């Protein structure tokens, strides 16, 4: 199980994500131009986080 710690985009609180349950991440932005990354899960739902896809990739590499 790959667990990574990310920062929730809205609350700025730390969340731990089991990467084995994730499908993909995508960069996106709000109507106000604020950029964030969305983590999409296998069984539906998504989590908006402050980390970029590149930062998430680095976290995942560090888990190996």
Given this model, what pLDDT does residue 25 score? Answer: 97
Residue 12, pLDDT score:
96
Q: How far apart are CA 1 and CA 9, in angstroms?
A: 24
3-63 under CATH 2.40.50, yes or no: yes
CA-wise closest residue to 51 among 64, 42, 60: 60
Structure tokens at 59: 């976290």
pLDDT in tens, 18-40: 999 999 999 999 999 999 999 99
- Which uninterrupted H or E stretch holds 40? strand 35-41
Tell me: pLDDT of 62 over 80.
Answer: yes
Q: Please check the confidence at residue 64 and state whether its pLDDT lies above 80.
A: no
pLDDT at 58 over 80: yes
Domain boundaries of the chain, sorted by first residue:
3-63
């Amino acid at each position: 199980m790959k667990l990574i710690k990310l920062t929730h985009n809205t609350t700025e609180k730390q969340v731990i994500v089991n990467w084995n349950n994730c499908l993909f991440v995508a960069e996106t932005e709000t109507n106000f131009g604020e950029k964030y990354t969305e983590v999409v899960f296998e069984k539906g739902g998504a989590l908006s986080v402050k980390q970029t896809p590149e930062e998430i990739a680095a976290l995942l590499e560090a888990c190996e």
